[in-house]
């Protein structure tokens, strides 16, 4: 069974700083996909970024980028120039392609003014 | 395009009752998945429907069931409600041949 672990329950940084959220996963599959979702206080889950396991290049979406280390089964999210609107729960998620997402426990990120 | 919509947004039920939640996917999306989110267990996959057929199922008791209609709208039903069923129920949709899922705002179910 696949598992996803987020070891940082909470993090707090100042606005404009860079922050990195950690995620490790366990799977025996070779082809899979990894995601970071953001859940603000409104509870709406928002897709932040995705990474295909077969791609060596790390995904980037504006201020959000990932560090994907396939051998280490690590998938961290870096948020650059953090903004107050980035305050949210962040979930790392895995799927082997079966439309079933396995989520980590989440990291509560607070951006302070 | 309109996003995923879920109704109702909030619901209060009593133990032993049953409840039906509804999800309308993004136009053109044929796959609908349901997740339960609780503080203790986190986000857990319930089931996924594609073209009116259940393709995947999580580890939930038979009290949890679902269905999908020809217009891709989906419903989930929970019978004989228990206090532990209190949760945020999230619905997500995708085209079926892509992996990223797009979530609705959720239905907050409280069982008293």
Q: How far is CA A6 from CA A74, A107, B102, in A?
A: 10, 7, 22
Q: CB–CB of B90 and A35 under 8 A?
A: no
CA distance A18 to A23: 17
What pLDDT is recorded for position A51?
A: 95
For B4-44, the pLDDT digits (tens) are: 999 999 999 999 999 999 999 999 999 999 999 999 999 99
pLDDT mean over B86-111: 92
- Which of A110, A99, A9 is closest to B58 using CA atoms? A99
Could you report the per-residue pLDDT of A47-105, keeping only the tens digit for each? 999 999 999 899 999 999 999 999 999 999 999 999 999 999 999 999 986 778 999 99
Q: Provide the pLDDT for residue B96.
A: 66
Decide if pLDDT at B104 tops 70.
Answer: yes
**Which of B43, B38, B58, B32 minimizes the C-alpha distance to B109?**
B38
Minimum Cα–Cα distance from B95: chain A residue: A99
Residues of B near A (CB-CB distance < 8 A)? 31, 33, 35, 42-45, 48, 50, 55-56, 58, 88, 90, 92, 94, 96, 99-106, 108
pLDDT tens track for A34-48 = 999 999 988 889 999
């Amino acid at each position: 069974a696949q598992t996803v672990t987020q070891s940082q329950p909470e993090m707090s940084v100042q606005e404009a700083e860079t922050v990195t959220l950690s995620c490790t996963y366990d799977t025996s599959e070779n082809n899979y996909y990894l995601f970071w979702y953001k859940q603000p206080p409104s509870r709406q889950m928002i897709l932040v970024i995705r990474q295909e396991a077969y791609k060596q290049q790390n995904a980037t979406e504006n201020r959000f980028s990932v560090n994907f280390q396939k051998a280490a089964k690590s998938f961290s999210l870096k948020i650059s120039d953090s903004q107050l609107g980035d305050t949210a729960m962040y979930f790392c998620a895995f799927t082997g392609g079966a439309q079933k997402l396995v989520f980590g426990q989440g990291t509560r990120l607070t951006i302070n003014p | 395009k309109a996003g995923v919509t879920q109704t109702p947004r909030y619901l209060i039920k009593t133990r032993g009752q049953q409840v039906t939640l509804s999800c309308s996917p993004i136009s053109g999306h044929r796959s609908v998945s349901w997740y339960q989110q609780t503080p203790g267990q986190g986000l857990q996959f319930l089931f996924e429907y594609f073209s009116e057929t259940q393709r995947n199922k999580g580890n939930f008791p038979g009290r949890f069931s679902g269905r999908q209609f020809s217009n891709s709208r989906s419903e989930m039903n929970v019978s004989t409600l228990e206090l532990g069923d209190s949760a945020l129920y999230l619905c997500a949709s995708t085209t079926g041949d892509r992996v990223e899922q797009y979530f609705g705002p959720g239905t907050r179910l409280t069982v008293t």
